[in-house]
Structure 1
Amino acid sequence: MKKNVRYLVVVLVCIAVLVGAVLVLALTGGEEEAASSSAGSTSSTAVEALIDRPDTELKTMEVTNEEGGYIIHAEPEAASSGAESGAESSASSSSTVKMLYTVDGLKDDYANRSLVTAAVNDVLTLAPSRDLGEIGDLSEYGLDKPVAKVKATYTDGSTFSYWVGGESAGTDGARYICEEGSSTVYVATLGDFLYGSNIQFIRNDVLNVTSKDETASSEENLESGIRFTRIALSGSNYDEPIELVSDDDGSTIKMVKPRTAGTNETEMDTLKEALTTLTAYGAVAAEPTQEDLEKYGLADPAARVEFTAEGDDYAMIASNADSEGYCYLMLEGRDVVYKVLESRISAWLNADAFKLQSRLTFQPMLTELKSMEVSVNGKETAFTFTRTKNEDKSTEDETAYDYTVAGPDGKELNYEYFRNFYKSFIVLSLIENTADIPDGDPEITATYRYFDKSDVDVVEFYRASGRRYTVVVNGQVLGNTVTSGMETALESMELLIQGEEVPDTVG
């Protein structure tokens, strides 16, 4: 009995040893297998950058796509200086040399260099996120008909090309790519530079006219501080050209076409602002052909503006707006067609000569008048002025005068009463446009002569309707005014002639 027990104990010990050995082997083998499996998995998913060359070695980058693509040329702008030698010198030089990029078909004066540099960095920084391995049928990934092809040529003559296929689900901008001539497919996140043409590298700023007065602040520039000496508007939108010119010192600007008149300050400020700064929505064509001009409505432009600001000449042409409210525009001297919101250029796209001109009829300075003759239905009333130097108020630089006015009988009138009448006569404002002189003779005519010039100005008022006068200055129609204002002025004139007090109806 004891012997049997001893055998049983020995058997149990052996079994325990065997089980322990099996467990050790199992555990040891499992760890090695797991480690081997893990290493194998890492090896299959790790992806190295497909392009890993310094930008200083790039010569050209060519992108082909449905929009036509573009070609960018690279060259060092300035090499670094220093006493480094060997590998350290090479590495330092590569990192400090600034590259200059130019785009075929674009001039430097309107190319956006920062965007071009960004495109080179984006397109040639190719680090895939996944390696899908060799693929038998590239059409499954859109690589049989790639949406873009990229070819980089380096200074040593070598090239690297890759194709861009369909979108990869899961990440915005991720697409399938493969090196040209290879069936290995990768997934990489790419920017939008691959899918456009050279147009995307054109700056959107069209105009930025600034004052040449070094003392003027940026705020003063914004407040129409720019000195305009000429603005001319024409094009198919205009029945007749409009031209505005400044006086000798540029302080005021007046209309000379289609009529001679003062200008409306508010409307002029709006026009000047539209001609001072302009930023486009974007560019649509560079070096446009005749076909392009016709396509964008610029072969026969709706409007053309020519202007001189701060001594520099500018000219632009524009189309009428499309269904989305955009116009197409070109700045003379720049072979680019821009797309702009109509609201940004409406001030000169569809300018109205009547709105640009002053609403006032004709306003000679009272102190400049030598005589004023008023004819009402053939009855004439003449006023004559004299001026006497005021010795006390005069200076070496400026002569001061005292003024008197005499009525039709030569009798001196109250000068302040005359001033009140005169203000009511010249304050008449134009309320509507007209181009025609009514038949017949004018009901009222005012003739002005001056102390210091031989000019004679004639202002005529023709009855246009029951409550309208058409105002004609020196033979040019300015527009219509209401009769009530003239009636008030003529009542004031009668009070003046009779020696009675003339109230100030203008203020």
Structure 2
Amino acid sequence: MNGKLQGIIICGVTAACLVGVMAFLNSTSGKSDADSSSSSTAAVSSQDESVVILTKSSDDITSVKVSNEHGEYSVNKSESGKSTWSIPELGTLNANATAEASMISNLDGFKAKKLVEENVEDMSKYGLDKPTADLTVEYSDGTATTLHVGSVSPSNERYSYVSLDDEKTVYMVMGTKLSYYTDPVTAYANLTLLTKPSDDDWPDYGKETVTRKDLDYEMAFENNPNEIEGLSGQVMTEPIFSYLNITNSSATTHGMWGLTAQSCEVIAPDETAMKEHGLSDPFATVRLSGDGYDYTLKIGDPVYATAGDSSETTDTVSAYYCYFEGVKGVDAIYLVSADNLPWATIKAEDVITSLMTSNYLVDLKNVEVVYNGKKTVYEVESSGASTDTDSDGKTTAQVTKVTTDGKELDVDNFKTFYQYLMGCPTNEIYFTDPEGESYLTITFDRKDGKKDVMEIYKDSSRRSVVKLNGETSFRIQSTWVDTFVANMDRLLKGEAVDDNY
């Protein structure tokens, strides 16, 4: 973006001369803006040529009727006379009150950049013989003015030509001021599909399910039965039970609240419209239900990003067509950014934590390991439980003693051993039940009488399958098991535990 400044004095003098010549030509040629638009260099006037073309106050507006290529609609002041507006053509859709008010206030002292030509004989050269949009502004005194929008100015594409009523005078108006009246009625729909609650008003979490055509399993999320520091308040219950990574999972578990669209596409869609947008048989369906609410989000066909030449690509999805159920005022097909739809791409491995179980060592009575029929039991003694905390919320309980077969082990070395055990890899979920008997079983016995059981089966020379509490859940590298078994021997000998596999 940095330019080179060369010969600034000479260029300045030359530019000033060119501007003077062009200003003279424009003032004496008598040609209209449309006739002279082929000129490659436009004159820049230092004078303000703007002109107010709608002189009445927006406070006096009672209705604005719009007709454009997308259809017809009107924005009407409420019968109470207050500055609230309604658009009948939105039907039951929630309206964007800010957009409605802005549309009206935009007409207050409505200015054109300049007057282009008076007494125009051929309005077609400005596209005003067949306007792209007409808006009729009705006032409380019974008068009305119609503004016609013509073609875009070839000399400056940021502006378009307009005229009033049956007059033959043409003005130039900034395109952004006209977009209110060239847009479809869907531009005035509220794009918030589900309002995000305030921090003190979140509903109790119920259950969320995610089904998708490209997955052979359903994902389900429910409240975490145990409050565990650093983990999400929810857990995955389908296709496996697993704790969730709070950072990676929050958009999936809570993204429904506050979900917004980037545009409204079809109001009150019929079966044909739903089918055309891939919503009669959606690619993905997300249901979130709980006490007092039941929401369903249908995710249909994708919309792909465009390349530099404006052609559609086939490798990057920018948005999806969606339909939302369970909330009043959103009966429409919306286009929602892919960034707001984690359910369209998320997999179970993306959100689960690396912990197969969440047992604090201080809460355990013992850890029992059975490897190829040989049992080893590690007895754990501690000075409290994980629920014992100080004023800063830190656990005050400590492991005081670990023994196996009557032999006391180094506590710190056992903690390292247990840390390796808790880090059993969870990067591949797996559902096919293994054959045969488990060759390694690890049981976590807690002081409260509850327990977790990991059963490990041979799958191949390099892979093993893990059943967690009787459910086939993961497939892991067999080298992890080899290192674990070797660490049992190191622990007994008082050698440092290896945390690599």
Letter in 2 for 1:327: Y
Higher mean Cα deviation, 239-248 or 119-128? 119-128
- Partner of 2:420, secondary structure, is helix
Deviation, 1:187, is: 0.5
2:172 aligned residue: 189
- 8 Å Cα contact 1:461-1:470 kept in structure 2: yes
Over 3 Å counting, the alpha-carbon distance change for 1:434 and 1:339 in structure 2 is: same
- 8 Å Cα contact 2:361-2:399 kept in structure 1: no
- Partner of 1:321, secondary structure, is strand
1:337 aligned residue: 333
Letter in 1 for 2:235: K
CA distance in structure 1 between the aligned counterparts of 2:462 and 2:210, rounded to whole angstroms: 33
1:83 aligned residue: none
1:73 aligned residue: 76
Letter in 1 for 2:404: G
Structure 1 stretches lacking a partner, 5+ long:
1-45, 79-97, 215-224
CA distance in structure 1 between the aligned counterparts of 2:151 and 2:237, rounded to whole angstroms: 62
CA distance in structure 2 between the aligned counterparts of 1:130 and 1:394, rounded to whole angstroms: 78
Alignment map for 1:245-264 (pairs within 5 Å)? 245-247=222-224, 252-264=233-245
CA distance in structure 1 between the aligned counterparts of 2:348 and 2:208, rounded to whole angstroms: 12
Over 3 Å counting, the alpha-carbon distance change for 1:124 and 1:387 in structure 2 is: closer
Higher mean Cα deviation, 419-428 or 432-441? 419-428
1:62 aligned residue: 65
Percent of aligned pairs with the same amino acid = 21
- 8 Å Cα contact 1:374-1:446 kept in structure 2: yes
- Partner of 2:480, secondary structure, is helix
Letter in 2 for 1:256: T
CA distance in structure 2 between the aligned counterparts of 1:130 and 1:423, rounded to whole angstroms: 78
CA distance in structure 2 between the aligned counterparts of 1:469 and 1:250, rounded to whole angstroms: 30
**Cα distance per residue 1:104-157 (max 9 Å; x no partner):** 23379843333323323445856672563374x665654443322333344455
1:503 aligned residue: 496
**Cα distance per residue 1:78-98 (max 9 Å; x no partner):** 7xxxxxxxxxxxxxxxxxxx6
TM-score scaled by length of structure 2: 0.69
CA distance in structure 2 between the aligned counterparts of 1:466 and 1:262, rounded to whole angstroms: 29
Is the radius of gyration larger for structure 1 or structure 2?
A: 1
Is structure 2 residue 305 aligned with structure 1 residue 318? no
- 8 Å Cα contact 2:362-2:384 kept in structure 1: no
CA distance in structure 2 between the aligned counterparts of 1:139 and 1:277, rounded to whole angstroms: 47
**Cα distance per residue 1:398-443 (max 9 Å; x no partner):** 99687544434xx243261544443333332134333223322111
- 8 Å Cα contact 1:301-1:319 kept in structure 2: yes
Deviation, 1:239, is: 2.6
Alignment map for 1:265-276 (pairs within 5 Å)? 265-269=246-250, 271=252, 274-275=255-256
- Partner of 1:99, secondary structure, is coil
Higher mean Cα deviation, 65-74 or 473-482? 473-482
Q: Give the count of matched residue pairs.
A: 419
CA distance in structure 2 between the aligned counterparts of 1:373 and 1:141, rounded to whole angstroms: 87
TM-score scaled by length of structure 1: 0.69
Deviation, 1:464, is: 1.4
CA distance in structure 2 between the aligned counterparts of 1:48 and 1:441, rounded to whole angstroms: 88
- Partner of 1:262, secondary structure, is strand
- 8 Å Cα contact 2:362-2:381 kept in structure 1: no
Over 3 Å counting, the alpha-carbon distance change for 1:495 and 1:168 in structure 2 is: closer
Letter in 1 for 2:185: N
**Cα distance per residue 1:471-491 (max 9 Å; x no partner):** 111222222222222222222
More helix by share: 1
Is structure 2 residue 442 aligned with structure 1 residue 446? yes
CA-based RMSD of the aligned residues comes to 4.2
Alignment map for 1:217-256 (pairs within 5 Å)? 230-247=207-224, 252-256=233-237
1:464 aligned residue: 459
Structure 2 stretches lacking a partner, 5+ long:
1-48, 306-317
Letter in 2 for 1:443: Y
- Partner of 1:359, secondary structure, is coil
CA distance in structure 2 between the aligned counterparts of 1:430 and 1:151, rounded to whole angstroms: 64
Over 3 Å counting, the alpha-carbon distance change for 1:388 and 1:360 in structure 2 is: closer
CA distance in structure 2 between the aligned counterparts of 1:248 and 1:400, rounded to whole angstroms: 22
Alignment map for 1:354-365 (pairs within 5 Å)? 354-365=349-360
- Partner of 1:358, secondary structure, is coil
1:9 aligned residue: none
Alignment map for 1:346-495 (pairs within 5 Å)? 347-385=342-380, 404-408=401-405, 411-414=406-409, 416=411, 417-453=413-449, 455-495=450-490
Letter in 2 for 1:501: G
Is structure 2 residue 284 aligned with structure 1 residue 303? yes
CA distance in structure 2 between the aligned counterparts of 1:108 and 1:130, rounded to whole angstroms: 42
- 8 Å Cα contact 1:433-1:478 kept in structure 2: yes
